[in-house]
Amino acid sequence: MRIAMVGSGALGLYYGALLQRGGNDVCFLLRRDYDAIRRDGLRVHSIHGDFYLPSVAGFRHSGEIGVVDLVVVGLKTWSNDRYHELVGPLVGPATMILTLQNGLGNEERLAELFGAHRLHGGVAYLCANRGEPGTVHHLGAGRIVLGALLAENADRAESLAELFRSVGVPCHGVDDIMRARWEKLVWNIPFNGLCALMQRSVGELLASPKVTETIRGIMAEVIAAANAQGLREPIPEVYAEEMIAFTRAMDPTYRPSMQLDRMEGRPLELEALLAKPLMAGKARGLALPLITALYALLDLS
């Protein structure tokens, strides 16, 4: 399969490297890593074993890649206004699009531009960071949950799940991708938000009983907001404890993407990760005081 990775941060580099190692023709749209990868290839340091790709197809512009079978979108959501420029040249009549971006609203915006029939949404539970240019560090996890935007395309979603499974990524399809998005927000809002605000790792947050209780409170609000959206199946309250246990099993020094963005002076994904979920919950009459406070503090910072 010919695949374009649009957004080659830690997520795009890691999954793209696995897809290439598995025999797919992968094209990476690159910025910071372009020179290093074109010159020296791509190195992956992983808990499952390191590997090296000496030759990688890296490009600066989508037009140089042309039409592909699958576009995997891993952009930061503050770049969504560039969808037409970055994704458009890659799309032909049979092209599928899979967005692995965080937060809400990504599938809908891509569908407006390129058609709902080709859209799939995915949620990646991946603990990875970029190292020096041309290097990505996989620190833990990595599973993907994905689904088609339109129910009639469930078979295509399953074929994409099989593609990822074939290269060693735990992946399964779901029939309600919006529920999967809210499940990820149960983790993303407290951990991305608090780590960015406090400049502490996930392990440092969980080492404090008081902060852990705050995390539980935020998770409870996210679950309440999710279940007010008319999901096909509600998210159980116990899911919060599952996410806390999942995080305790991570490398305690792990710093989520929003924390790294703030450290390096980049914009934060506040709209997709906090503002839109907050608006969705308040539209259903929920107060959500903890999420409201977290959003206000991050927006000020």
- Residue 65: strand, helix, or coil: coil
The residue type of 23 is G
Q: What are φ and ψ of residue 156, in 5° steps?
A: -70, -40
Residue that is written with structure tokens 């080709």 in the block = 118
Contact 41, 134 (CB under 8 A): yes
> Which entry of 76, 184, 210, 282 is annotated as an active-site residue?
184
Cα–Cα distance for residue pair 210/150, rounded to 1 Å: 42
Q: Which amino acid is at 174?
A: V
Report the alpha-carbon distance of residue 112 to residue 110 in Å, rounded: 5
Instruction: Look at the chain and count its residues.
Output: 301
The DSSP element (H or E) to which 120 belongs, if any, is strand 119-130
List all residues 6 or more positions away from 248 whose beta carbon is below 8 Å from its beta carbon. 206
Contact 20, 31 (CB under 8 A): no
In the annotation, is 184 catalytic? yes
- The answer to whether the beta carbons of residues 233 and 176 sit under 8 Å apart is yes
Name the nearest CA neighbour of 10 among 56, 61, 45, 36. Answer: 45
Backbone phi, then psi, for 235, in 5-degree steps?
-85, 125
Residues catalogued as catalytic: 184
